Chain A
Amino acid sequence: MNFDFSDDQKQLRDQARRFLAEHSSPKAVRAVLDGAKPYDRDLWKGLAGMGFLGVAIPEEFGGAGAGHLELCVIAEEMGRALAPVPFSSSIYLAAEAIMLAGSDEQKKKYLPGLADGTTIGTLALFEGPGNPSPRAIKAAVTNGALSGTKLPVSDGDIADIAIVAARTAQSGRETDIALFIVDLKGKGVSRKTLTNIDPSRNQAEITFDNCPAEPLGPAAEGWSLLTRVLDRAAVLVAFEQVGGADRTLEMGRDYALDRIAFGRQIGSFQAVKHLLADMYVSVTLARSNAYYGAWALSTNASELSEAAAAARISATQAFQHCSKNNIQVHGGMGFTWEFDCHLYYRRSNALALALGSLSYWEDQLIDRLRTRNAA
């Protein structure tokens, strides 16, 4: 057993951390947050140049072909730096879906662009309030044309292509749902930017009106493919959450050492120490669950869906717990626009809802445990 990343993977982590520290500073994050631009184009190009976007995409399709453990390592750093780029949409969702379900031809057509950042992809799944479920999908494809409205779509304004989950029949079964690739620059697509709790990432409403839709994977397997894509993305997003949580713990610790009240460092007050100790505990549990997810993802283990749900729940809890208590440790300063605490607070709450909220993942986890227990 070796339950850790390899030395090479740790080196990659250091490299990504250094790169992001320089190119995704809080100032860069704020430029997007303040609405000056929908994402950081220079950072995106830089990440492509470093080979980070295509790290898990096979070489024959334009990637680096390193693997998913490497992608996990980079995801953690993206989360730590709050990178204001469509990485999760384009890589964890679009590229993963195409790698999982695409024909050889589709892989050749789309993956190189996703790997070098010239194509940005996303997943268009949700249609208003509610968690992922076949019944919630009303958008439909008839005679090859897609109509319906998706909301929210992460990075929906920025993306060039979307993987769209749409209905092809009305039988009420999962097999009604199929996946499609849709060109978002094509005819019949209209998009609207949505204001959202984390403006450092774009959210949009996309309306499709009789748009050409290219089938992705077998028509009847759309729903099961989609849940597999969500499982894979859940592990990767968990690493982003762990990165963010770890950073807020660090911020809280540093502030507790700096700030003096009642003549002593506030970090010497036990209530503050215990707050930070509990943050450490939640990050540690989340990290360990995420490692289990990374193992399952990289080996395509049959435990993947269980591991993904555990990683997702644990990391969501940790990031929310740490980001809110980081503000608490910072006192009034923590509630100023000027301090970076709110950037993490926003991101933690936005990520908590991406890919379906906790109740969806709780259901997934319990269903898997139940199956395993019954076996």
Chain B
Amino acid sequence: MNFDDTPQEAAFRAEARDWISANAPHQYKDELAKASLGRVQLKGANILEVGKAWQKKKADAGWACLHWPKDYGGRGATPIERVIWQQEEGVFGKLSGLFIIGHGMCGPTMMAYASEDQKREYLPPLASGEKVWCQLFSEPAGGSDVAGLRTRAERDGDDWIINGQKIWTSGAHYSDHGILITRTDPTVPKHKGLTMFFLDMKSPGVEIKPIKQANGQAEFNEVYFTNVRIPDAQRLGAVGDGWNVSLTTLMNERMSIGANVATGFPELFAFCANLTLGDGPALDDRAVRSKLANWAVRASGLKYTSFRAISALSRGERPGPENSIGKLVAGSMIQDVATYALDLQGAAGVVSSPEQAELGGKFQAMLLRSPATRVEGGTDEILRNIIAERVLGLPGDIRVDKDVPFNKIPTKGR
């Protein structure tokens, strides 16, 4: 049991460190360090442009999508090298928010199901950040119940014609491509009638409407499809096998979302270290200490759980459903941490204007963004189901719609 780099890993780390110190956009370092969940903004610069430029620079030097094969724009790195890179990249990793879905979910799905020619065509520009991808899964009728989706795909010669609506699609408004799950047969039970595609988001008939979010920002969108044509060659997996294809995506989603979720703990601890409560330092207060200790062990527990997972990966084991715990634990933790950080500020906790609020309003931004963490990429409840069923082997939920043809399933609760 050790944390030490092997000589090879140490050499890799030194190389990464040198390259980062010579090439990273250091002018943004302080601002990035201060940014937190729900707010990564750069004064006088467009975060999307800065993010794309950093990604391109990394790709040109062989530091993009490290674990992908070289032929597809990656570096063929080991899981540990990937972690070493993340450790060295530090706050500059916050510039990659734009690519999380493309790199974490769309890329792996393309790798598993696209043709060799397609992989060589589409993956390198995805890795290098020249193209941005989105994931078109959720619908008004199918969120947790992904297989309840209604967007139709009908065969027309060598093409498919798509009609319907997606929702909560992050980044659709600046994406070049997307992976899309559709219903191709409404007369069979819901999991059996699905088919997956990828498409050009600039295709005629695709209409994107940004949705204003509860925290005031607009990361996600409604996407409407009216007679959109997709060539059959852009189908991923067999007709009717879309459910299995989507499981590949969702598993990767949990890995990539779950691996490095913010907990808010380091920010809270630093805040308390400088805070005076009553007539003494907050860190001398028994109640504060107890709360902090409780969160400290959750944060360290997550950290070392991910180290254990990486150790297993580097022994050649596959990432399993147990990776669901990262987001499950961190999601409610960051919400509670933010609530507590505001509580410690008393009435002033309500103020979020960056000039007056403590730490530039970081905790207020966290508070307002955190509900999304508990929903996106699988709700707390769905993640618990996954742990219970796939890790502990408990029975699946009773599914009243399982053997019913999709077009016979009721559509309204009341």
Q: How many residues of B contact A (CB 8 A)?
A: 52
A293 to B395, CA, bound (A): 35
Cβ-based interface call for B14 (8 A): no
Contact with B along A268-311 (1 / 0, CB 8 A): 10101110111011001110110110110011000000000110
- Which residues from chain B contact A1 at a C-beta distance below 8 Å? 2-5, 9, 80, 83, 307, 310-311
> How far does the Cβ of B386 sit from chain A's closest Cβ, in whole Å?
8
- Nearest B residue to A9 via CB reads B1
The answer to whether A284 touches B305 (Cβ under 8 A) is: yes
* B1-53, CB < 8 A from A: 1-5, 9
A268 to B384, CA, bound (A): 13
- Which residues from chain B contact A253 at a C-beta distance below 8 Å? 392-394
> How far does the Cβ of A9 sit from chain B's closest Cβ, in whole Å?
8
A278-B305 contact, Cβ under 8 Å, with A365-B293, A370-B283 = no
- Which residues from chain A contact B77 at a C-beta distance below 8 Å? none
The answer to whether A276 touches B392 (Cβ under 8 A) is: yes
Cβ-based interface call for A171 (8 A): no
A264 to B381, CA, bound (A): 21
The answer to whether B1 touches A289 (Cβ under 8 A) is: no
- Which residues from chain A contact B388 at a C-beta distance below 8 Å? 267, 273-274, 276-277, 280
A299 to B305, CA, bound (A): 20
A292 to B235, CA, bound (A): 46
- Nearest B residue to A286 via CB reads B301
> How far does the Cβ of B78 sit from chain A's closest Cβ, in whole Å?
11
Contact with B along A312-329 (1 / 0, CB 8 A): 011001000000000000
A292-B311 contact, Cβ under 8 Å, with A268-B395, A313-B293 = no
Cβ-based interface call for B385 (8 A): yes
Cβ-based interface call for A59 (8 A): no
The answer to whether B311 touches A2 (Cβ under 8 A) is: yes
The answer to whether A366 touches B283 (Cβ under 8 A) is: yes
Q: Contact check: which of B1, B273, B290, B396 meets A3 at CB < 8 Å?
A: B1
Cβ-based interface call for A74 (8 A): no
The answer to whether B384 touches A274 (Cβ under 8 A) is: yes
A288-B301 contact, Cβ under 8 Å, with A273-B388, A273-B389, A281-B328 = yes
The answer to whether A274 touches B381 (Cβ under 8 A) is: yes
Q: Contact check: which of B289, B304, B305, B384 meets A366 at CB < 8 Å?
A: B289
Cβ-based interface call for B322 (8 A): yes
The answer to whether B2 touches A295 (Cβ under 8 A) is: yes
Among the listed stretches A13-21, A22-30, A47-55, A355-363, which one makes contact with chain B, having 4 or more residues with CB under 8 Å of it? A355-363
* B386-414, CB < 8 A from A: 387-389, 391-398
The answer to whether A374 touches B308 (Cβ under 8 A) is: no
A314 to B302, CA, bound (A): 11
The answer to whether B384 touches A278 (Cβ under 8 A) is: yes
What secondary structure prevails in chain A residues at the interface with B? helix
The answer to whether A295 touches B398 (Cβ under 8 A) is: no
A4-B270 contact, Cβ under 8 Å, with A270-B385, A276-B388, A363-B289 = no
The answer to whether B301 touches A5 (Cβ under 8 A) is: no
A299 to B4, CA, bound (A): 12
Contact with A along B274-301 (1 / 0, CB 8 A): 0000000001001001101110111011
The answer to whether B296 touches A285 (Cβ under 8 A) is: no
The answer to whether B296 touches A310 (Cβ under 8 A) is: yes
The answer to whether A276 touches B394 (Cβ under 8 A) is: yes
- Which residues from chain A contact B3 at a C-beta distance below 8 Å? 1, 3, 295
A274 to B294, CA, bound (A): 21
> How far does the Cβ of B331 sit from chain A's closest Cβ, in whole Å?
12
- Which residues from chain B contact A264 at a C-beta distance below 8 Å? 395, 398
Cβ-based interface call for A197 (8 A): no
The answer to whether B308 touches A4 (Cβ under 8 A) is: yes
- Which residues from chain A contact B4 at a C-beta distance below 8 Å? 1
The answer to whether B296 touches A292 (Cβ under 8 A) is: no
A53 to B202, CA, bound (A): 70
- Which residues from chain A contact B329 at a C-beta distance below 8 Å? 281, 285
Cβ-based interface call for B312 (8 A): yes
Cβ-based interface call for A265 (8 A): yes
The answer to whether B301 touches A314 (Cβ under 8 A) is: yes
Most-contacted residue by chain A among B292, B302, B308, B392 (CB, 10 A): B392
A285-B394 contact, Cβ under 8 Å, with A274-B384, A295-B1 = no
Cβ-based interface call for B269 (8 A): yes
The answer to whether B293 touches A373 (Cβ under 8 A) is: no
A273-B300 contact, Cβ under 8 Å, with A1-B310, A285-B305, A285-B329 = no
> Which residues of B approach A to under 8 Å, CB–CB?
1-5, 9, 80, 83, 269-270, 273, 283, 286, 289-290, 292-294, 296-298, 300-305, 307-308, 310-312, 314, 322, 325, 328-329, 381, 383-385, 387-389, 391-398
Given contacts A277-B392, A299-B2, 13 further A-B contacts (CB under 8 A): A1-B80, A2-B311, A3-B2, A3-B304, A253-B394, A268-B398, A273-B392, A274-B388, A284-B325, A289-B297, A314-B297, A365-B297, A369-B296
17 example contacts (A-B, Cβ-Cβ < 8 A) are as follows: A1-B310, A3-B311, A69-B1, A265-B395, A270-B381, A273-B389, A273-B392, A277-B388, A280-B392, A284-B305, A294-B1, A295-B1, A310-B300, A365-B296, A366-B289, A366-B292, A366-B296
